[in-house]
Amino acid sequence: MDNPDTYSNPGLWAGGAAIVGGVTAWTATAHILDHLPILSVLKAAEGLNPLTFGILPAVAGAAGAVAAGAIGWYGVHQPAERHVRGPKLARLDHRPAKKALKPKRKAAQGISIHPQTPITEEQECRHTLLLGGSGSGKTSILWPVINQAQARGDKCLIFSFKGDFQQKAAFNFSLLAPWDSRSVRWLLGRDIDTRMKAESLAKTLCPDPEKGEKIWAQGAQGLLTAVIASVQHNPSYKNGRWGFHELAKACSMALSDYDFLVKTVMEESPLAKAFLMGKDSKTTASYLAQMASGLSDVINLGVADSSSQGKPWSVSDWLAGRTPNAAILGYLPAVEGLSKAYCSTIIEQIVKQILSFDDCNPDERRIWLFLDEVPQAGKVPSITDALEAARSKGCRVVLGMQGVGQLEEHGYSKNTLDIWAGQCGIKIVSNLSVPRDQKWASDLLGERDITRYQRTVTNSNTSGSNSGIHQPIKEHLMLPGEFKEELRVTQQGPRALLLAPGANALLQFPFPQLQSYRKARVDAAWTLPGFTRPVWGAVPPRTGTPSEGTESAASVVAQASVTTQIIEQQPESTPPLAAPVASDSGLADLAADHVVSASIDSVLPGAGALFELMSMSEPGPAGPAPATHQQQQPVQEHEEEDEAGQ
């Protein structure tokens, strides 16, 4: 970068101006003092000349020299860069951010996002996003905020991916971690008390696939909803006193006993009967396989619940203040699928209950969701809902993650981070080492318009020229590479970028004073070798969606519609709870195959006959489809026990 002061010599001008200004100020002051009547006696008695003696003239001369020198410097000095428009960045100066976030006269002051930067409670409800790579100091920035919220008596849900929060928390809390012997027992029935909540839980446990045909997952969701509803209506579980133990037993029975499943579906969700086309139907087997693959974690959670001695806990009790204000949501990397299923289910239920509250002022209800390393909790669609609509309910969401790629790896779309960043009023960015994340953060900070001085020097045999001009330039406020070099962890603590409405500041955060109060994890009995699982606790096989060569989604829809018509055309005198016999299922399959054959013939003449020929060549009845999956249960049981014991 050229220096515009190279040829203008502002120092020479400042020195000359200081000399002239100092002498002028001294002389003028002395002249004024010389003509004051009060000093004439002193002058006559001592013969003193104010020009050579006197404190006031000397002080005036010094002040004049400084003022004139400053005028001379700034009058000639030209900055290399001049800001025209766009955002500005304060480096290691908290004052601009403090001024921008300063509470208004009537606003309630909230926590301090930085030791010298308090925010209002209204700004708390605008949510916070923390972005930084591994070891960049996100947790060190988050700890003081958690401690302030707890000291104020706020309700806090804290996701502890690394286990450090339950290890170092200096406050009372409920631990939500079925693999830990200190965990509470989640009374699922107190939170899942309606049909709509049962459907929501089924979608969480059997989510739609990111790719491929969704009809298999949707069928499994319909069957699982019926099973959950049967547990809800069981008179043995009054006041919602059922959890994963009771749900797992019902699911295990439904998967192992086809007649029981049909009876349950007809009682609780008759429309879902369209997915059950007989014991020997491979379509039914596909739905049950999809359902079983999503219920492996439910069975394990049921085994954990049956052996737990913890206190009962529920989301509704926590929000009502009947349990400790803090709830720490644990995570066990050794069983990633189980951890994600449990964590995502709890977060989903909390968000849905918060969204059902009435609107209130930020100081009337304070609920925090501290979700550090949030992608590790599994895909939780309701997080976006919380950012969009929970602000008016008194909910504050704090999200922490490492980068864009981490979100995509755990099932989120490419635009998720953009959506979340747009919903968070305060963003804190620490060290980023991935170029893609650096560019994203640089774009987030924005661009500025400046003028930069450029000098041109030309020489020739006869003459030369030397000229300079400020050229307009548009550039990023921070270049992508600066997010790795400028943002780092120092001896004082992490250095991070604070982005808030009206202020962008590069701040130095201190390290929090922490100590360990307890172990990070105490293994529960059911995770240890030698634990005897209950009879119903055999984990179903993890089978995916049907492989190539099985029925397509179009054929399944056609079969489902035919079966639904058969059910609707039954006379009212027909007992609705009667289990279908093999001949009825075979008739339904033949009718469905005929409809599919006709549909294929309309598109490709002759292909329908080939389809019917292939259908007739299928092997005959060989027992209920679920029994095929149950044959491998003893092996799967030992495999899951070994996995849990690791």
Residue 204's pLDDT band (boundaries 50, 70, 90)?
Answer: confident
Average pLDDT, the chain: 77
Query: Hey, which bits of 380-502 come out as E strands?
Result: 395-401, 426-429, 447-459, 464-476, 495-500
List CB contacts of 152: < 8 A, sequence separation 6 or more. Answer: 111, 366
pLDDT of residue 644: 40
Q: Measured between alpha carbons, how far is 462 from 411 in angstroms, rounded to an integer?
A: 70
Q: Measured between alpha carbons, how far is 453 from 487 in angstroms, rounded to an integer?
A: 28
How many domains does the structure of the chain reveal? Answer: 3
Asked if residue 633 has pLDDT above 50, the reply is no
pLDDT of residue 325: 96
pLDDT of residue 66: 60
Query: Hey, which bits of 195-336 come out as E strands?
Result: 312-313, 326-329
Asked if residue 541 has pLDDT above 50, the reply is no
pLDDT of residue 13: 55
Token pair listed for 279 = 């014991």
Whether residue 344 sits in one domain with residue 327 = yes
Q: Is residue 83 part of a domain?
A: no
Domain assignment of residue 107, given as a range: 99-184+312-449+484-508
Whether residue 380 sits in one domain with residue 492 = yes
Q: What is the pLDDT of residues 65-119, one digit of tens each?
A: 666 556 655 555 566 677 777 778 788 777 777 777 776 666 778 999 999 888 9
- In sign, the C-alpha dihedral spanning 569, 570, 573, 578 is negative
Whether residue 230 sits in one domain with residue 144 = no
> Which of 356, 285, 326, 337 has its CA nearest to residue 551?
285
| Helices and strands, number each (H, E), in the chain | 25, 17
Q: What is the pLDDT of residues 385-428, one digit of tens each?
A: 999 999 999 999 999 999 888 888 888 888 899 999 999 999 99
Q: Measured between alpha carbons, how far is 173 from 176 in angstroms, rounded to an integer?
A: 10
Q: Measured between alpha carbons, how far is 282 from 624 in angstroms, rounded to an integer?
A: 10
Whether residue 194 sits in one domain with residue 175 = no
Q: Is residue 39 part of a domain?
A: yes
CB-CB contact of 357 with 316 (8 Å): no
Q: Measured between alpha carbons, how far is 536 from 257 in angstroms, rounded to an integer?
A: 12
Q: Is residue 427 part of a domain?
A: yes
Tell me the average pLDDT across 478-489.
90
List CB contacts of 577: < 8 A, sequence separation 6 or more. Answer: 263, 266, 267
Q: Is residue 88 part of a domain?
A: no
Q: What is the pLDDT of residues 509-536, one digit of tens each?
A: 999 999 999 999 999 999 999 898 888 8
Whether residue 38 sits in one domain with residue 134 = no
Task: Kindly state the helix (H) or strand (E) to which residue 471 belongs, with its residue range.
Answer: strand 464-476
Q: Phi first, then psi: what are they for 589, rounded to 5°?
A: -65, -40
Distances (CA, A) of 426 to 111, 568, 633: 13, 56, 50
Final residue of a structural domain among 474, 508, 542: 508
Q: What is the pLDDT of residues 2-14, one digit of tens each?
A: 555 454 555 565 6
pLDDT of residue 394: 95
- In sign, the C-alpha dihedral spanning 547, 551, 552, 556 is negative
Residue 295's pLDDT band (boundaries 50, 70, 90)?
Answer: confident
Distances (CA, A) of 123 to 98, 394, 418, 508, 587: 13, 11, 20, 21, 64
Token pair listed for 169 = 């928390």
For every residue of 561-619, DSSP letters joined together read HHHHHHHHTS-TTS-TTPPPPHHHHHHHHHHHHHHHHHHHHHHSTTHHHHHHHHHHTS-
The fraction of the chain above a pLDDT of 70, given in percent, is 67
| Amino acid residing at 518 | R
Name the one residue in this structure whose structure tokens are 């009876």.
263
Q: Is residue 549 part of a domain?
A: yes
Whether residue 493 sits in one domain with residue 379 = yes
Q: Is residue 352 part of a domain?
A: yes
Token pair listed for 539 = 């984990």
CATH at 131: 3.40.50.300
| Amino acid residing at 346 | I
Whether residue 63 sits in one domain with residue 116 = no
Asked if residue 537 has pLDDT above 70, the reply is yes
List CB contacts of 378: < 8 A, sequence separation 6 or more. Answer: 339, 340, 341, 343, 344, 410, 411
Q: What is the pLDDT of residues 491-512, one digit of tens each?
A: 999 999 999 887 888 999 999 9
Whether residue 74 sits in one domain with residue 27 = yes
Asked if residue 173 has pLDDT above 90, the reply is yes
Q: Measured between alpha carbons, how far is 534 from 641 in angstroms, rounded to an integer?
A: 12
Whether residue 156 sits in one domain with residue 136 = yes
